[in-house]
Homo-oligomer: A and B are copies of this chain.
Amino acid sequence: MNLHRKPIPVEEAVQRVMEHKPQQKSEEVRLEDSYGRILAEDIKATHAVPPFNKSPYDGFAIRAADTAKASKESPVGFVVTETVAAGHRASRALESGEAVRIMTGAEIPEGATCVAMFEICQTEEKANATYMSIKRSMEDGQNIIERGSETEEGEVLVCKGEIINPGIQAVLATFGYAKVQVYQQPRVGVFATGTELLDIDQPLEPGKIRNSNAYMVLAQIERSGAEPVYFGKLADDFDTCYEAVRQALSEVDILITTGGVSVGDYDLMPDIYEKLGADVLFNKIAMRPGSVTTVAALGQQLLFGLSGNPSACYVGYELYTHPFIQAYLGNQRVYHNVIDAELGADFPKPNPFTRFVRGFVRYEEGKVCVYPAGIDKSAVVTSLAHSNVLIVLRGGTRGYQQGDAVRAILLEDTKGTESFQLYSS
Protein backbone atom coordinates (compact mmCIF):
# COMPACT_ATOMS: atom_id res chain seq x y z
CA MET A 1 0.00 0.00 0.00
CA ASN A 2 1.43 3.32 -1.05
CA LEU A 3 1.02 5.72 1.86
CA HIS A 4 2.62 8.61 0.00
CA ARG A 5 0.30 9.19 -2.92
CA LYS A 6 1.04 12.17 -5.10
CA PRO A 7 -1.96 14.45 -5.56
CA ILE A 8 -2.78 15.61 -9.11
CA PRO A 9 -4.87 18.66 -10.02
CA VAL A 10 -8.63 18.23 -10.53
CA GLU A 11 -8.47 19.17 -14.22
CA GLU A 12 -5.83 16.54 -14.84
CA ALA A 13 -7.86 13.88 -13.05
CA VAL A 14 -10.92 14.76 -15.15
CA GLN A 15 -8.79 14.56 -18.28
CA ARG A 16 -7.41 11.14 -17.37
CA VAL A 17 -10.96 9.83 -16.94
CA MET A 18 -12.25 11.38 -20.15
CA GLU A 19 -9.39 9.98 -22.24
CA HIS A 20 -11.30 6.71 -21.96
CA LYS A 21 -13.88 6.70 -24.72
CA PRO A 22 -16.78 4.41 -23.98
CA GLN A 23 -18.41 2.40 -26.77
CA GLN A 24 -21.78 4.03 -27.34
CA LYS A 25 -24.66 1.82 -28.36
CA SER A 26 -27.96 3.05 -29.69
CA GLU A 27 -31.47 1.63 -29.59
CA GLU A 28 -34.82 2.55 -31.06
CA VAL A 29 -37.56 3.80 -28.74
CA ARG A 30 -41.11 4.97 -29.40
CA LEU A 31 -41.58 8.73 -29.48
CA GLU A 32 -43.75 8.64 -26.37
CA ASP A 33 -40.99 6.84 -24.45
CA SER A 34 -38.20 9.16 -25.57
CA TYR A 35 -38.45 12.04 -23.06
CA GLY A 36 -35.11 12.65 -21.34
CA ARG A 37 -33.18 10.24 -23.59
CA ILE A 38 -30.31 11.40 -25.81
CA LEU A 39 -30.64 11.51 -29.61
CA ALA A 40 -28.41 9.06 -31.48
CA GLU A 41 -29.40 10.47 -34.87
CA ASP A 42 -29.66 13.95 -36.37
CA ILE A 43 -33.27 15.00 -36.74
CA LYS A 44 -33.95 16.29 -40.23
CA ALA A 45 -36.98 18.00 -41.70
CA THR A 46 -38.64 15.18 -43.68
CA HIS A 47 -40.74 17.79 -45.45
CA ALA A 48 -40.87 21.57 -45.82
CA VAL A 49 -42.59 23.66 -43.11
CA PRO A 50 -45.21 24.65 -43.84
CA PRO A 51 -45.69 21.77 -46.27
CA PHE A 52 -48.01 23.96 -48.39
CA ASN A 53 -48.77 27.65 -48.81
CA LYS A 54 -51.09 28.42 -45.92
CA SER A 55 -53.20 31.21 -44.52
CA PRO A 56 -52.20 32.90 -41.25
CA TYR A 57 -55.73 34.31 -40.82
CA ASP A 58 -59.40 33.61 -41.40
CA GLY A 59 -60.29 35.39 -44.65
CA PHE A 60 -60.81 35.09 -48.38
CA ALA A 61 -58.23 33.70 -50.78
CA ILE A 62 -58.33 35.68 -54.02
CA ARG A 63 -56.16 36.83 -56.91
CA ALA A 64 -54.44 40.09 -55.98
CA ALA A 65 -54.62 41.23 -59.60
CA ASP A 66 -58.44 41.28 -59.31
CA THR A 67 -58.20 44.00 -56.63
CA ALA A 68 -55.93 46.35 -58.62
CA LYS A 69 -58.66 48.95 -59.07
CA ALA A 70 -60.50 48.46 -55.77
CA SER A 71 -61.14 51.60 -53.69
CA LYS A 72 -63.63 52.95 -51.15
CA GLU A 73 -65.59 54.47 -53.95
CA SER A 74 -65.57 51.43 -56.22
CA PRO A 75 -65.29 48.13 -54.37
CA VAL A 76 -64.47 45.01 -56.38
CA GLY A 77 -66.81 42.04 -56.06
CA PHE A 78 -66.12 38.30 -55.95
CA VAL A 79 -68.29 35.20 -55.94
CA VAL A 80 -67.48 32.92 -53.01
CA THR A 81 -67.12 29.43 -54.43
CA GLU A 82 -66.39 27.35 -51.34
CA THR A 83 -64.99 27.25 -47.80
CA VAL A 84 -61.69 25.57 -46.88
CA ALA A 85 -61.01 24.69 -43.27
CA ALA A 86 -57.63 23.70 -41.86
CA GLY A 87 -56.96 20.12 -42.90
CA HIS A 88 -59.02 20.40 -46.07
CA ARG A 89 -58.26 21.70 -49.55
CA ALA A 90 -60.19 23.48 -52.26
CA SER A 91 -62.00 21.28 -54.75
CA ARG A 92 -60.56 23.10 -57.76
CA ALA A 93 -58.25 25.96 -58.76
CA LEU A 94 -59.53 29.46 -58.16
CA GLU A 95 -60.22 31.69 -61.16
CA SER A 96 -60.39 35.39 -61.66
CA GLY A 97 -63.40 36.95 -59.89
CA GLU A 98 -63.67 34.06 -57.46
CA ALA A 99 -62.98 34.01 -53.72
CA VAL A 100 -62.52 31.01 -51.39
CA ARG A 101 -63.43 31.41 -47.74
CA ILE A 102 -60.34 30.12 -45.93
CA MET A 103 -59.65 29.40 -42.26
CA THR A 104 -56.42 29.92 -40.34
CA GLY A 105 -53.86 27.24 -41.20
CA ALA A 106 -55.70 26.03 -44.29
CA GLU A 107 -54.01 25.48 -47.63
CA ILE A 108 -54.17 28.35 -50.14
CA PRO A 109 -56.13 27.16 -53.19
CA GLU A 110 -54.27 26.93 -56.46
CA GLY A 111 -54.70 30.13 -58.42
CA ALA A 112 -55.10 32.35 -55.35
CA THR A 113 -52.25 34.81 -54.73
CA CYS A 114 -53.25 36.53 -51.47
CA VAL A 115 -55.63 36.38 -48.49
CA ALA A 116 -57.93 39.27 -47.54
CA MET A 117 -58.77 39.14 -43.83
CA PHE A 118 -62.48 38.94 -42.95
CA GLU A 119 -62.25 42.36 -41.32
CA ILE A 120 -61.69 44.18 -44.62
CA CYS A 121 -64.33 42.23 -46.60
CA GLN A 122 -68.06 42.80 -46.99
CA THR A 123 -70.16 39.69 -47.60
CA GLU A 124 -73.65 39.41 -48.97
CA GLU A 125 -76.03 36.45 -49.57
CA LYS A 126 -78.00 36.71 -52.80
CA ALA A 127 -80.02 34.10 -54.69
CA ASN A 128 -78.43 31.12 -52.91
CA ALA A 129 -74.94 32.41 -53.57
CA THR A 130 -72.43 34.30 -51.44
CA TYR A 131 -70.67 37.38 -52.67
CA MET A 132 -67.76 39.28 -51.19
CA SER A 133 -66.48 42.75 -51.97
CA ILE A 134 -63.30 44.53 -51.05
CA LYS A 135 -62.44 48.25 -50.99
CA ARG A 136 -58.67 48.18 -51.24
CA SER A 137 -56.05 46.63 -53.44
CA MET A 138 -53.96 43.66 -52.33
CA GLU A 139 -50.50 42.45 -53.32
CA ASP A 140 -49.35 39.07 -54.55
CA GLY A 141 -48.22 36.97 -51.59
CA GLN A 142 -49.98 39.14 -49.02
CA ASN A 143 -51.06 37.07 -45.98
CA ILE A 144 -49.65 33.88 -47.39
CA ILE A 145 -47.14 31.81 -45.44
CA GLU A 146 -45.10 30.20 -48.18
CA ARG A 147 -44.30 26.52 -48.37
CA GLY A 148 -40.87 25.95 -46.81
CA SER A 149 -40.60 29.48 -45.40
CA GLU A 150 -40.02 28.15 -41.88
CA THR A 151 -37.99 25.05 -42.67
CA GLU A 152 -36.63 23.53 -45.85
CA GLU A 153 -36.85 19.84 -46.50
CA GLY A 154 -33.69 18.00 -45.41
CA GLU A 155 -32.54 20.69 -42.99
CA VAL A 156 -30.93 19.34 -39.77
CA LEU A 157 -33.10 20.68 -36.96
CA VAL A 158 -31.71 18.94 -33.89
CA CYS A 159 -28.29 17.31 -33.71
CA LYS A 160 -27.56 13.94 -32.21
CA GLY A 161 -26.29 14.23 -28.65
CA GLU A 162 -29.15 16.50 -27.55
CA ILE A 163 -31.34 15.51 -24.60
CA ILE A 164 -34.95 15.07 -25.76
CA ASN A 165 -37.11 17.78 -24.19
CA PRO A 166 -40.76 18.69 -24.89
CA GLY A 167 -39.79 20.94 -27.81
CA ILE A 168 -37.66 18.22 -29.42
CA GLN A 169 -40.53 15.78 -28.96
CA ALA A 170 -42.70 18.24 -30.92
CA VAL A 171 -40.09 18.35 -33.69
CA LEU A 172 -39.97 14.55 -33.82
CA ALA A 173 -43.77 14.35 -34.07
CA THR A 174 -43.95 17.05 -36.74
CA PHE A 175 -41.60 15.13 -38.97
CA GLY A 176 -43.11 11.71 -38.43
CA TYR A 177 -40.47 10.19 -36.17
CA ALA A 178 -42.83 7.64 -34.57
CA LYS A 179 -39.64 5.89 -33.41
CA VAL A 180 -36.29 7.48 -32.76
CA GLN A 181 -32.73 6.29 -32.25
CA VAL A 182 -31.39 7.13 -28.79
CA TYR A 183 -28.22 6.11 -27.02
CA GLN A 184 -28.45 3.20 -24.63
CA GLN A 185 -28.21 4.07 -20.97
CA PRO A 186 -25.11 2.53 -19.39
CA ARG A 187 -25.70 0.21 -16.44
CA VAL A 188 -23.81 1.58 -13.47
CA GLY A 189 -23.21 -0.79 -10.58
CA VAL A 190 -22.81 0.36 -6.98
CA PHE A 191 -21.14 -1.39 -4.03
CA ALA A 192 -20.84 0.11 -0.58
CA THR A 193 -17.87 -0.89 1.56
CA GLY A 194 -17.37 -0.48 5.29
CA THR A 195 -17.97 -2.80 8.22
CA GLU A 196 -19.60 0.07 10.08
CA LEU A 197 -22.47 0.13 7.58
CA LEU A 198 -25.94 -1.14 8.40
CA ASP A 199 -28.66 -1.74 5.83
CA ILE A 200 -31.34 0.93 5.77
CA ASP A 201 -33.93 -1.36 7.34
CA GLN A 202 -31.65 -2.48 10.17
CA PRO A 203 -31.96 -0.94 13.64
CA LEU A 204 -29.07 1.23 14.74
CA GLU A 205 -26.29 -0.64 16.56
CA PRO A 206 -23.47 0.61 18.76
CA GLY A 207 -20.63 1.97 16.66
CA LYS A 208 -22.51 1.55 13.36
CA ILE A 209 -24.22 3.90 10.92
CA ARG A 210 -26.64 3.22 8.09
CA ASN A 211 -25.44 3.02 4.53
CA SER A 212 -26.45 6.37 3.04
CA ASN A 213 -23.80 6.78 0.34
CA ALA A 214 -25.08 3.94 -1.83
CA TYR A 215 -28.61 5.38 -2.02
CA MET A 216 -27.25 8.86 -2.66
CA VAL A 217 -25.10 7.55 -5.52
CA LEU A 218 -28.00 5.53 -6.97
CA ALA A 219 -29.99 8.78 -7.17
CA GLN A 220 -27.02 10.62 -8.66
CA ILE A 221 -26.79 7.94 -11.36
CA GLU A 222 -30.49 8.39 -12.08
CA ARG A 223 -30.06 12.16 -12.24
CA SER A 224 -27.23 11.61 -14.76
CA GLY A 225 -29.63 9.60 -16.93
CA ALA A 226 -28.03 6.17 -16.50
CA GLU A 227 -29.39 2.94 -15.07
CA PRO A 228 -28.32 2.23 -11.48
CA VAL A 229 -27.74 -1.35 -10.30
CA TYR A 230 -27.27 -1.84 -6.58
CA PHE A 231 -25.09 -4.78 -5.54
CA GLY A 232 -25.32 -4.18 -1.78
CA LYS A 233 -22.45 -4.08 0.67
CA LEU A 234 -19.07 -5.63 0.08
CA ALA A 235 -18.03 -8.15 2.69
CA ASP A 236 -15.09 -7.66 4.99
CA ASP A 237 -13.06 -10.47 3.52
CA PHE A 238 -10.71 -9.82 0.60
CA ASP A 239 -11.42 -12.93 -1.46
CA THR A 240 -15.19 -12.58 -1.21
CA CYS A 241 -14.90 -8.90 -2.08
CA TYR A 242 -12.67 -9.54 -5.04
CA GLU A 243 -15.00 -12.21 -6.39
CA ALA A 244 -18.03 -9.93 -5.96
CA VAL A 245 -16.35 -7.08 -7.84
CA ARG A 246 -15.20 -9.39 -10.63
CA GLN A 247 -18.68 -10.82 -11.04
CA ALA A 248 -20.31 -7.36 -10.97
CA LEU A 249 -17.99 -6.16 -13.73
CA SER A 250 -19.50 -8.75 -16.06
CA GLU A 251 -22.96 -7.29 -15.48
CA VAL A 252 -22.44 -3.54 -15.75
CA ASP A 253 -20.70 -0.94 -17.92
CA ILE A 254 -19.32 1.14 -15.05
CA LEU A 255 -18.69 0.17 -11.42
CA ILE A 256 -18.76 2.49 -8.43
CA THR A 257 -17.63 1.61 -4.93
CA THR A 258 -18.04 3.90 -1.96
CA GLY A 259 -15.45 3.76 0.80
CA GLY A 260 -12.39 1.59 1.07
CA VAL A 261 -10.03 3.84 -0.86
CA SER A 262 -8.21 5.58 2.01
CA VAL A 263 -4.96 4.31 3.39
CA GLY A 264 -6.52 2.86 6.52
CA ASP A 265 -5.96 -0.73 7.61
CA TYR A 266 -9.36 -1.81 6.35
CA ASP A 267 -9.35 -0.22 2.90
CA LEU A 268 -9.53 -3.02 0.40
CA MET A 269 -10.03 -1.34 -2.94
CA PRO A 270 -6.36 -0.67 -3.85
CA ASP A 271 -5.55 -4.38 -3.52
CA ILE A 272 -8.63 -5.35 -5.52
CA TYR A 273 -7.59 -3.05 -8.37
CA GLU A 274 -4.17 -4.64 -8.30
CA LYS A 275 -5.46 -8.21 -8.37
CA LEU A 276 -7.89 -7.36 -11.20
CA GLY A 277 -4.98 -5.96 -13.19
CA ALA A 278 -6.76 -2.64 -13.47
CA ASP A 279 -4.77 0.45 -14.35
CA VAL A 280 -5.11 3.03 -11.57
CA LEU A 281 -5.51 6.42 -13.31
CA PHE A 282 -5.05 8.32 -10.04
CA ASN A 283 -5.59 7.78 -6.34
CA LYS A 284 -4.99 11.23 -4.91
CA ILE A 285 -6.35 14.58 -6.09
CA ALA A 286 -5.49 18.08 -4.87
CA MET A 287 -9.06 18.77 -3.75
CA ARG A 288 -11.24 18.84 -0.63
CA PRO A 289 -13.34 16.88 -0.01
CA GLY A 290 -12.65 13.72 -1.97
CA SER A 291 -8.86 13.75 -2.18
CA VAL A 292 -8.68 9.95 -2.06
CA THR A 293 -11.08 9.48 -4.99
CA THR A 294 -9.55 6.71 -7.10
CA VAL A 295 -10.33 5.72 -10.67
CA ALA A 296 -9.07 2.55 -12.31
CA ALA A 297 -9.49 1.28 -15.86
CA LEU A 298 -9.98 -2.36 -16.82
CA GLY A 299 -10.22 -2.51 -20.61
CA GLN A 300 -13.19 -0.37 -21.59
CA GLN A 301 -14.60 -0.36 -18.08
CA LEU A 302 -13.90 2.27 -15.45
CA LEU A 303 -14.04 1.57 -11.73
CA PHE A 304 -14.78 4.63 -9.65
CA GLY A 305 -13.57 4.33 -6.06
CA LEU A 306 -15.42 7.11 -4.30
CA SER A 307 -14.70 8.16 -0.74
CA GLY A 308 -16.74 6.82 2.17
CA ASN A 309 -17.34 10.34 3.45
CA PRO A 310 -20.77 11.42 2.13
CA SER A 311 -19.80 14.82 0.87
CA ALA A 312 -16.53 13.56 -0.66
CA CYS A 313 -18.47 10.75 -2.30
CA TYR A 314 -21.02 13.23 -3.71
CA VAL A 315 -18.34 15.56 -5.10
CA GLY A 316 -16.23 12.72 -6.53
CA TYR A 317 -19.25 11.37 -8.39
CA GLU A 318 -20.24 14.71 -9.91
CA LEU A 319 -16.70 15.65 -10.98
CA TYR A 320 -15.53 12.34 -12.43
CA THR A 321 -18.35 9.81 -12.87
CA HIS A 322 -21.03 12.17 -14.22
CA PRO A 323 -19.10 13.30 -17.33
CA PHE A 324 -17.98 9.76 -18.10
CA ILE A 325 -21.62 8.62 -17.97
CA GLN A 326 -22.53 11.52 -20.28
CA ALA A 327 -19.87 10.33 -22.75
CA TYR A 328 -21.42 6.87 -22.59
CA LEU A 329 -24.84 8.41 -23.18
CA GLY A 330 -23.59 10.24 -26.26
CA ASN A 331 -24.34 13.64 -24.73
CA GLN A 332 -22.76 16.41 -26.81
CA ARG A 333 -21.97 18.41 -23.68
CA VAL A 334 -20.63 15.99 -21.11
CA TYR A 335 -19.60 18.36 -18.32
CA HIS A 336 -21.68 20.18 -15.75
CA ASN A 337 -21.85 23.87 -16.53
CA VAL A 338 -19.32 25.87 -14.46
CA ILE A 339 -20.48 29.47 -14.12
CA ASP A 340 -19.26 32.72 -12.60
CA ALA A 341 -21.22 33.71 -9.53
CA GLU A 342 -21.13 35.92 -6.47
CA LEU A 343 -20.58 34.28 -3.09
CA GLY A 344 -23.67 34.97 -0.95
CA ALA A 345 -22.05 34.37 2.44
CA ASP A 346 -18.63 34.36 4.05
CA PHE A 347 -16.62 31.16 3.89
CA PRO A 348 -13.77 31.88 6.27
CA LYS A 349 -11.96 28.51 6.09
CA PRO A 350 -8.57 28.75 4.37
CA ASN A 351 -8.17 26.51 1.32
CA PRO A 352 -4.75 24.93 0.89
CA PHE A 353 -6.39 22.80 -1.84
CA THR A 354 -9.24 23.58 -4.22
CA ARG A 355 -12.42 23.13 -2.23
CA PHE A 356 -15.87 22.13 -3.52
CA VAL A 357 -18.51 23.48 -1.17
CA ARG A 358 -22.06 22.13 -1.42
CA GLY A 359 -24.44 25.03 -1.94
CA PHE A 360 -27.45 26.41 -3.71
CA VAL A 361 -27.99 29.09 -6.31
CA ARG A 362 -30.20 32.17 -6.09
CA TYR A 363 -30.86 34.64 -8.88
CA GLU A 364 -30.86 38.15 -7.43
CA GLU A 365 -31.53 41.18 -9.63
CA GLY A 366 -29.90 39.68 -12.69
CA LYS A 367 -26.93 38.33 -10.72
CA VAL A 368 -26.17 34.71 -9.93
CA CYS A 369 -25.47 34.24 -6.23
CA VAL A 370 -24.35 31.01 -4.61
CA TYR A 371 -24.70 30.18 -0.92
CA PRO A 372 -22.95 27.41 1.00
CA ALA A 373 -25.60 24.96 2.28
CA GLY A 374 -25.69 24.32 6.01
CA ILE A 375 -22.54 26.23 6.75
CA ASP A 376 -23.55 26.89 10.37
CA LYS A 377 -24.35 23.24 11.07
CA SER A 378 -22.12 20.45 10.03
CA ALA A 379 -24.63 17.68 9.28
CA VAL A 380 -23.25 16.75 5.93
CA VAL A 381 -26.07 14.69 4.51
CA THR A 382 -28.64 17.29 5.50
CA SER A 383 -26.79 20.05 3.69
CA LEU A 384 -26.46 17.82 0.61
CA ALA A 385 -30.25 17.63 0.63
CA HIS A 386 -30.43 21.35 -0.03
CA SER A 387 -27.61 21.60 -2.58
CA ASN A 388 -27.85 22.15 -6.31
CA VAL A 389 -24.39 23.60 -6.95
CA LEU A 390 -20.81 22.96 -5.91
CA ILE A 391 -19.08 26.23 -5.13
CA VAL A 392 -15.48 26.12 -6.37
CA LEU A 393 -13.04 27.82 -3.98
CA ARG A 394 -9.58 28.03 -5.45
CA GLY A 395 -6.73 26.45 -3.51
CA GLY A 396 -4.08 28.56 -1.80
CA THR A 397 -6.49 31.14 -0.43
CA ARG A 398 -7.19 32.40 3.08
CA GLY A 399 -10.94 32.04 2.88
CA TYR A 400 -13.63 33.95 1.04
CA GLN A 401 -15.99 36.79 1.86
CA GLN A 402 -19.58 37.50 0.89
CA GLY A 403 -19.58 39.25 -2.49
CA ASP A 404 -16.39 37.60 -3.76
CA ALA A 405 -16.44 36.35 -7.34
CA VAL A 406 -16.37 32.55 -7.39
CA ARG A 407 -17.15 29.73 -9.79
CA ALA A 408 -19.98 27.28 -9.30
CA ILE A 409 -20.80 23.91 -10.84
CA LEU A 410 -24.50 23.62 -11.70
CA LEU A 411 -25.67 20.12 -10.77
CA GLU A 412 -29.25 20.21 -12.04
CA ASP A 413 -28.78 22.10 -15.29
CA THR A 414 -29.48 19.71 -18.16
CA LYS A 415 -27.62 21.75 -20.79
CA GLY A 416 -24.05 20.98 -19.77
CA THR A 417 -20.92 22.17 -21.52
CA GLU A 418 -18.38 20.75 -23.94
CA SER A 419 -15.20 21.62 -22.08
CA PHE A 420 -14.38 21.58 -18.41
CA GLN A 421 -13.00 24.86 -17.16
CA LEU A 422 -12.80 25.05 -13.42
CA TYR A 423 -11.61 28.65 -13.48
CA SER A 424 -12.46 31.48 -15.84
CA SER A 425 -8.82 31.61 -17.01
Contacts and interface: CB of A to CB of B under 8 A. Distances in A.
A170 interface: yes
Given A103-B265, A366-B340, A173 B150 contact: no
Most buried by B among A173, A197, A230, A424: A173
Given A88-B195, A164-B219, A170-B213, A340 B365 contact: yes
Given A170-B310, A365-B340, A368-B368, A150 B380 contact: yes
A381 B46 CA distance: 14
Contacts of A342: 366
A194 B381 contact: no
Nearest to A169: B219
Contact of A363 (B204, B220, B339): B339
Contacts of A210: 173-176
Interface stretch (A50-58, A278-286, A296-304): A50-58
Given A201-B176, A412-B414, A216 B166 contact: yes
Nearest to A168: B385
A397 to B, nearest CB: 18
A388 B415 contact: yes
Interface string A354-395: 000010100111111000000001111111111110000000
Contacts of A419: none
Given A106-B207, A177-B200, A207-B106, A194 B264 contact: no
A172 interface: yes
A223 interface: yes
A167 to B, nearest CB: 3
Contacts of A149: 378
Contacts of A215: 31-32, 169-170, 172-173
A239 interface: no
A157 interface: yes
Contact of A385 (B170, B196, B201, B340): B170
Interface string A166-202: 1111111111111000000000000000111100111
A366 B368 contact: yes
A198 to B, nearest CB: 8
A208 interface: yes
A351 to B, nearest CB: 19
A52 B207 contact: yes
Interface residues of A, number: 107
Nearest to A209: B51
A311 to B, nearest CB: 9
B166 A178 contact: no
Nearest to A236: B87
Given A88-B195, A194-B86, A206 B107 contact: yes
A266 interface: yes
Given A178-B200, A209-B51, A211-B173, A166 B32 contact: no
A339 B200 CA distance: 40
A154 to B, nearest CB: 14
A385 B165 contact: yes
Nearest to A201: B178
A332 to B, nearest CB: 13
A49 B177 CA distance: 53
A175 B363 CA distance: 32
A314 interface: yes
Contacts of A337: 363
A340 B368 contact: no
A401 to B, nearest CB: 15
Contacts of A52: 206-207
Given A86-B196, A164-B219, A385-B165, A212 B368 contact: no
A35 interface: yes
Contacts of A310: 170
B363 A195 contact: no
Q: State the 5 A-B residue pairs at the shortest beta-carbon distance, nearest first.
A: A87-B196, A167-B384, A170-B216, A166-B219, A150-B379
